[in-house]
Structure 1
Amino acid sequence: MAVTATLAEAVRAAIGDGDSVAMEGFTHLIPHAAAHEVIRQGRRGLTLIRMTPDIVYDQLIGAGCAAKLVFSWGGNPGVGSLHRLRDAVEHAWPGPLEIEEHSHAGLVNRYVAGASGLPFAVLRGYSGTDLPRYTDSIAPVTCPFTGERLTAVAALNPDAAVIHAQRADREGNVQLWGILGAQKEAVLAAKRSIVTVEEIVDELEPRPGAILLPHWVVDWVCEVPGGAAPSYAAGYTERDNGFYADWDAVSRDRASFTAWIDANVKERA
C-alpha cells in the first residue's frame, strides 16, 4: 500500500546516489517539483531516463546530479536546445555526461519489457540508423517463426520512477488523465515509485479516459499542488509558455543558470 509522505521524505527514501531514475510525463504532468527536491538533496551520479528530456532534465544535469542520460528526444519544446545538456556533453560541465539514445518506440518498449518481467522487447525499428552500433541495449534479432530480421531492446527497470498526476485517494490509488506519455509503464517497470499529485481526496471520481494506478504499484504519494509547473496538469493548472521561452536565455550561461538554481530551487523548500 502506498505511503503518504512529504516530497522530501519520499525522495530521501526512494532515490540514492548512483540510482537510475525515470521522470516521465509528456507535455503536461512533468514532475518538476520532485526534480527540484532531488537537486536540493544533492543527489549525484544518477542515470536519468526520460522519453523527452526537456528543461526538467536540463536543470538536473546542470545542477550536477547526472552521470548518464537515457533518452529518445531532447530539447526545449518549441524553443530550441537544452544548453545545460549540450554543455555537459560537449564540455563536461559541470561533469561528463554519458548519453544513450533511442527512438520513442524503442524506449517505451524497454519500459514495457521491464514491467512485464521480460528480458527484452522486439520491434520493427532502428532500420537504417547507426544506433545499434553505439548502443549496447539495442541488438538485431531473428524471428524464430518467420526468419524476419527485427530489433530487440533490453528491458528497463529503473531504481525509481517519478511522475506527477492529478489525484490520489487516501489509500494511494492514483488517477491521471489528459495527454499521456509513459508514466504507467515507467511506474510498473521501476523498483520504487513516487507519485506527486495536485490533491489527495477521500474518493476518486470516475472519469472517462483516466488511467488508474492501484495503490499496490505505488510506494509514495505526495500532495504537491502545482508540482508540474511550469508544465501543467490538465484540469488544475496551465502551462507557463513564457517560462520555456525565458529558459533559453537563463540556461545559455553557466553563471546565470547557477544563480537561477540557487534562487529558485536550493533556497526554496
Structure 2
Amino acid sequence: MAELLSLREAIDRFVSNGDTVALEGFTHLIPTAAAHELIRQGKQDLTLVRMTPDLVYDLLIGAGCAKKLIFSWGGNPGVGSLHRLRDAVEKSWPKPLELEEHSHADLANAYVAGASGLPFAVLRAYAGSDLPKVNPLIRSMTCPFTGEVLAAVPSVRPDVTVIHAQKADRTGNVLIQGILGVQKEAALAAKRCIVTVEEIVDDLQAPMNACVLPTWALTAVCVVPGGARPSYAHGYYERDNRFYQQWDPIARDRERFNAWVDEFIRGTADFAAYQAKLATQEAN
C-alpha cells in the first residue's frame, strides 16, 4: 500500500546509493522534481534507466549521481545534445559514465518483461542494425516453435521507479491521463515505486479504460504541484519551451552548470522553493 509522504522523505527512505533507478514519462509528466531531490540528497553511483534521457538525466549525470545509463535515445528535445551526458562519456566529467544503449522497442519490451516477472524479452528487431555490436546484452535466439531467429534482451527490473501523474486519491491510487509512455510498465517492474502528483483528491473520477495504478502496486505518493516542469502535465500546465532553449548554454559550460545546480537545486529546500526562485529570476 502506498504511503502519502513528502518527496524528501520518500527519496531518503526508498532510494539508496548504488540503486538502479528509472525516471519515466514520455513528452509530459517527466518527474523533474524527483531528479532535483536525488541531487539535493547527494545520491551516488546510480544506474539510471530511461527510454528518452533528457534534461532530468543531464542534471543527474552532471551532478555526479550516475555511474551508468541504460537508454534508447538521449537529447534536449527540439534543441540538441545533452552536454553533461556528452562530457561524461567523452571526457569522464564529473566521473566516467557507462552506457548501455537499446532501441525504443527493445527497452519498452524489457520493461514489460520486468513487469511480467520474466527474465528476458523477445522481439523482432535489429535486422541490419549495428547496435548489437556495441551492446553484448542484445542476443539472438531461435523460436522453438517456428525456427525464426529473434532478438532477446534482459528484462528491466529497477530497484526504484519514479513517475509523475496528475492525481491520486487519499488511499494512494494514481490516475495518469494524456500520452502514456512506459510509466505503467516501469512502475510494475520495480521493487519500489514513488509517484509525484499534482494533487490529492477524494475521487479520481477516472474515465473508462483510464490508466490507474493501484495503491498496492506503489510504495509512496508525494504531492508536488508543478513537479513535471519544464515538461507539461496534461490538463494542468503547458510545456515550458523557453526553459529547454535556455538549458543549452547552461549545460554547455561546467562552471555555469555547477553554479546553476548550486543555486537552484542544492540552494533550495524543495521543488516549491525552486519554482519560486526560478520565477523570481525570470521576472527580473
TM exceeding 0.5: yes
Q: Which residue number corresponds to residue 20 of structure 1?
A: 20
Write out per-residue CA displacement over residues 108-150 of structure 1, whole angstroms, 9 at most, x where no aligned residue.
1111001101111110011112222332331101011111111
C-alpha distance in 1 between matches for 2:249 and 2:217: 40
Q: Which residue number corresponds to residue 248 of structure 2?
A: 248
Q: What is the identity, as a one-letter code, of the residue corresponding to 1:224?
A: V
TM-score by length of 2: 0.93
> How high is the sequence identity, in percent, across the aligned residues?
66
Q: Which residue number corresponds to residue 173 of structure 1?
A: 173
C-alpha distance in 2 between matches for 1:208 and 1:62: 42
C-alpha distance in 2 between matches for 1:225 and 1:210: 21
Helix, strand or coil at the partner of 1:162: strand
C-alpha distance in 1 between matches for 2:91 and 2:205: 50
Q: Which residue number corresponds to residue 227 of structure 2?
A: 227
CA contact (8 A) 2:24 2:186 kept: yes
Runs of 4+ in 1 over 6 A off after TM superposition: none
Q: Which residue number corresponds to residue 160 of structure 2?
A: 160
Q: What is the identity, as a one-letter code, of the residue corresponding to 1:90?
A: E
- 2:137 aligned with 1:128: no
CA contact (8 A) 2:33 2:227 kept: yes
1:208/1:76 CA distance change after superposition, 3 Å: farther
Helix, strand or coil at the partner of 1:245: helix
Q: What is the identity, as a one-letter code, of the residue corresponding to 1:159?
A: D
Helix, strand or coil at the partner of 1:29: coil
Superposition RMSD on alpha carbons, in Å?
0.9
C-alpha distance in 2 between matches for 1:216 and 1:102: 31
The structural deviation recorded for 1:202 is 1.1
CA contact (8 A) 1:18 1:44 kept: yes
Q: Which residue number corresponds to residue 58 of structure 2?
A: 58
CA contact (8 A) 1:177 1:209 kept: no
For structure 2, the 5+ residue unaligned runs are: 270-284
Write out per-residue CA displacement over residues 194-219 of structure 1, whole angstroms, 9 at most, x where no aligned residue.
00000011111123553100000010
TM-score by length of 1: 0.98
1:208/1:236 CA distance change after superposition, 3 Å: farther
C-alpha distance in 2 between matches for 1:28 and 1:206: 19
Q: Which residue number corresponds to residue 44 of structure 2?
A: 44
C-alpha distance in 1 between matches for 2:148 and 2:115: 26
C-alpha distance in 1 between matches for 2:207 and 2:155: 32
